[in-house]
Amino acid sequence: MKDRLEILRGRAEPLPTATGPALRRTLTDLADAALTDLLGEPGPGVALVAVGGYGRAEPAFGSDLDLVLLHDDTHRDIAAVADAVWYPLWDAGVGLDHSVRTVDEAITVADDDLKAALGLLDARHVAGDAALTADLARRARSRWRTRAPKRLPDLAAAVAERAARLGEVAFLLEPDLKESRGGLRDVHALHALAAAWVAEVPSDRVLAAAEVLLDARGEIRRLAAGRPQDRLLLQDGTAVAAALGYPDSMALAHAVADAGRTISWAWDATWYRTAAGLRNTSRWRGRRPVRRPLDEGVIDQGGEIQLALDVEPAKDPVLVLRVAAAAARTGLPLGRYAVDRLAAEAPAMPQPWPPAARDALVALLATGDAAVGVLESLDQVGLLVRLLPEWAAVRSRPQRNPYHRFTVDRHLMETAARAAAFTRDVDRPDLLLLGALLHDIGKGFPGDHTDAGIDQIRLVGPRLGLPPEDVDVLVAMVRHHLLLGETATRRDIDDLATIEAVATAAGSDRILTLLHRLTEADSRATGPTAWNAWKARLINDLVERSRALLGGERVPCPPRLDDRQRSLLALAAEHTVQVNPLPDEGMFEIVVVSADQVGLLAVTAGVLALNRLDIRRASARSADGRALLQAAVAAPHGRVPEEAKLLADLRAALAGTLDIAERLAARERDYSGAKQWTTPGPPQVIFDDGLGSTTVLEVRAPDRAGVLFRIVRALSELRLDVATAIVATLGLDVVDAFYVQEADGRPVADDTRRREIARAVLAALGVEDLPDQPAPPAERASSAGSVGSAGSVDSAGQRL
């Protein structure tokens, strides 16, 4: 008995050979046997009933045992029977959700408690009087059916509340496999709809998805030694994947994301039909539903998209897309009969696609947000992959970082939805929408995702029936889909060389405009941190200047020193600090004027970091022995930077009485135990000569307190002048770009000198040495150069 209970708690030998369904059966059998022994022979009129998760035979290590001690009110000492069962379980530390009730009492409680009502739907006899258990199960299900019009909206509200509070299994870095949207609770809700006789039982695909989540949850609980943990933590991914036979943690995350999407889609589709039925039961009783034509072979029947009576899907390959476009255009869901019939009978699309098919796809994408749900429906029944075979490579593919909110395929759908808002801003809205849908298609294939995407577009474009010149535009959109965002946030857009590089890459006003709108749509679809007013303004300025250059007009770049900067440099005070609000919310300009000296930018960066101001862009100007630094900073939590505090810290740091490095190190030690979503990659260094005579040093490093200060201090110790520093944050990384010159104004061109600089920067970031043979680049990270592994240096695209 004690051994059984210790295993249930997850504290004894954790059944190392049992995983998945076998583990759940074993735990159920152990619990049943222990409870049967504890109940003994109480005689007729007493039964021990498992409900909830235990009733479904889905326990995990450390799960509470959901139990009802049922009696018929004739047993003289039911309290003693209860004590004989509960106390040994409590003494062993087994969690209990327990009650002692008659059948009538149990039904009465369930009438007022949704959780209790749902638990009784899974009632399973464990020991004692089986007839009593059967009576409870029969009455509970009958009561659930008769009260369905009242209880089911409460059930749906509970599903929606959990989704809003806990997010989606498919898109979370660390999803709660039980409670998040698309989790096990939603499967239980689907079973509850079926128990009310208002929906079919969950499909085999949904049941298989539930098995994926149950299996993973079982191993999560094993690793947690029986603690109530249902969240798949990143740190546990490798161990859970190995236990369940997945190749790696990414394969596990892929399976979990796919399972979550299957379950959430099933709930949405099933609840829509159920809710419509509840609303229309009395209204439409005895009346034939209205059939309203929407398109060729497509009708609205009873508030759902259905097929016309005489349609033959096997002879009409475009029908799938006409049905999808009609659903998105009207906001009506795809009817189950229509979807199933299309999935079974729709033929392959001719190659190349007929113009009507391409037009229908564009019309679908042009509906924006409405298209996302329709595309999800096509995806769930296999029709989307049938239309675009390349989709299989990105389907439910996780991106596994806090910067990206969605899986790759859902990100592509969301980007197309965001791009639909800009169709009136471009002369080829069809190419904008297709480019948005396919811009990251390369992420499902080996190698750099941009290069792979270009290869796929060269295959997909002709198959869609696009002429060669349109395929070339799509290729340019994929090739340069990172160009504007990366250039605006990582390069000096006041530098004419930057504008020339962008204009040359775009090549035409059409492609520049398409890239502009694709960039915004892509950023908005990425996540909450990927788009803001500051980034929008930088990209708008970059596009405006590049368009002027393409049109042969004067490029509106500011001069090296404008009138305001000259007046600031003429200020008489030894040190001046100003704080000026910028038009972007939460952004400020910090102005520092001081005597020109080596290391001033490093000191300023350190002071701003100590005051918890995130630098986005900083530039340095000098004249007549005076230096002017201007930094655009983000102030968290609505704070306004304090001029007096910044000035005092700057004076102390320049005087040597404030040790910035030690203060920043102390802060980092204080936060060293803070949770990391993933293990950040090692620092990386690039030298970029792609902007004329300017040397740009780009550093990607884990985001830590004072990263900019450490890098700039290392550069100043090498007697390098930093004219401009630009900072971009990507998830857990920062990407810092520095426009640097030697002290005599020459660019940094010598390979030996570059290696010296790289070693100093990497040492400042904690990397001891630069490898002699750096690994090949793993991922495109810059529009101007490629990034290698820890300590690697890239000089104009050539490895040193």
pLDDT of residue 772: 44
Comparing CA positions, the residue from 287, 292, 286, 296 lying closest to residue 304 is: 292
pLDDT of residue 284: 45
Other beta carbons within 10 angstroms of residue 698's beta carbon come to 24
Average the pLDDT over 54-82 and give the result.
Answer: 91
The three-class DSSP label of residue 558 is coil
Other beta carbons within 10 angstroms of residue 662's beta carbon come to 9
Across 103-112, 218-227, 340-349, 435-444, least confident range: 218-227
DSSP annotation string for 369-430: HHHHHHHHHHHHTTHHHHH-TTHHHHTT----STT--S-HHHHHHHHHHHHGGGGGGSS-HH
- Model confidence at 782, pLDDT cuts 50, 70, 90, reads very low
Q: Give the amino acid at 501.
A: A
Tell me how far apart the alpha carbons of residues 95 and 270 are, in angstroms, rounded to a whole number: 34
pLDDT tens profile 193-209:
999 999 999 999 999 99
Evaluate if residue 394 carries a pLDDT over 70.
yes
- Model confidence at 76, pLDDT cuts 50, 70, 90, reads confident
Q: Which residue has the tokens 């002699």?
A: 772
pLDDT of residue 7: 63
pLDDT tens profile 144-169:
999 999 999 999 999 999 999 999 99
Please name every residue paired with 594 in a beta bridge, in sequence order, or none if there are none.
627
703-712 b/e (C-beta count within 10 Å ≥ 16 → b): ebbbbbbbbb
| Dihedral in degrees, nearest 10, Cα atoms 202, 205, 210, 213 | -160
Torsional class of 294: left (φ above 0), alpha (ψ -120 to 50), beta (otherwise)? alpha
ω into 153 cis (within 30 of 0) = no
Other beta carbons within 10 angstroms of residue 226's beta carbon come to 23
Average the pLDDT over 230-241 and give the result.
Answer: 94
pLDDT of residue 791: 34
Sketch out the chain's domains with CATH numbers: 2-146 (3.30.460.10), 150-278 (1.20.120), 294-387 (no CATH), 425-555 (no CATH), 559-674 (3.30.70.260), 676-800 (3.30.70.260)
Other beta carbons within 10 angstroms of residue 719's beta carbon come to 10
Comparing CA positions, the residue from 254, 304, 219 lying closest to residue 27 is: 219
The three-class DSSP label of residue 223 is helix
Evaluate if residue 796 carries a pLDDT over 80.
no
pLDDT of residue 679: 52
pLDDT tens profile 218-230:
999 999 876 888 9
Average the pLDDT over 28-54 and give the result.
Answer: 93
Tell me how far apart the alpha carbons of residues 11 and 1 are, in angstroms, rounded to a whole number: 14
Higher pLDDT, 729 or 363: 363
Evaluate if residue 770 carries a pLDDT over 70.
no
pLDDT of residue 4: 60
Tell me how far apart the alpha carbons of residues 408 and 342 are, in angstroms, rounded to a whole number: 25
Comparing CA positions, the residue from 49, 153, 29 lying closest to residue 100 is: 49
pLDDT of residue 671: 60
pLDDT tens profile 322-368:
999 999 999 999 998 999 999 999 999 999 999 999 999 999 999 99
Pairing mode, strands 298-301 and 576-581: unpaired
462-475 b/e (C-beta count within 10 Å ≥ 16 → b): bebbbeeebbebbb
Please name every residue paired with 102 in a beta bridge, in sequence order, or none if there are none.
none
The three-class DSSP label of residue 298 is strand
- Model confidence at 767, pLDDT cuts 50, 70, 90, reads confident
- Model confidence at 794, pLDDT cuts 50, 70, 90, reads very low
Average the pLDDT over 384-399 and give the result.
Answer: 95
Other beta carbons within 10 angstroms of residue 652's beta carbon come to 15
- Model confidence at 13, pLDDT cuts 50, 70, 90, reads low
pLDDT of residue 697: 92
Comparing CA positions, the residue from 494, 490, 544 lying closest to residue 783 is: 490
- Model confidence at 784, pLDDT cuts 50, 70, 90, reads very low
Higher pLDDT, 416 or 11: 416
The three-class DSSP label of residue 574 is coil
Phi and psi torsions of 277, nearest 5°: -65, -40
pLDDT of residue 777: 34
Across 13-17, 196-200, 320-324, 466-470, least confident range: 13-17
Average the pLDDT over 708-718 and give the result.
Answer: 90
Most confident of 138-142, 273-277, 750-754, 759-763: 138-142
Higher pLDDT, 55 or 290: 55
| Average pLDDT in the chain | 88
Residues in the chain: 800
Evaluate if residue 773 carries a pLDDT over 50.
no
Other beta carbons within 10 angstroms of residue 423's beta carbon come to 17
Other beta carbons within 10 angstroms of residue 774's beta carbon come to 18
pLDDT of residue 792: 33
pLDDT tens profile 575-613:
999 999 998 888 999 999 999 887 888 899 999 999 999
**Do 523 and 485 contact (CB within 8 A), yes or no?**
yes
Integer Rg of the chain from CA: 32
Alpha helices in 600-688 (DSSP H): 600-610, 643-655, 660-670
pLDDT of residue 691: 58
Across 8-17, 536-545, 732-741, least confident range: 8-17
Q: What percent of the chain has pLDDT over 70?
A: 90
Average the pLDDT over 653-668 and give the result.
Answer: 88
Tell me how far apart the alpha carbons of residues 725 and 492 are, in angstroms, rounded to a whole number: 8
Tell me how far apart the alpha carbons of residues 765 and 102 are, in angstroms, rounded to a whole number: 68
Evaluate if residue 311 carries a pLDDT over 80.
yes
Q: Which residue has the tokens 């391409």?
A: 358
Higher pLDDT, 730 or 192: 192
Most confident of 135-144, 734-743, 783-792: 135-144
**Do 268 and 415 contact (CB within 8 A), yes or no?**
no
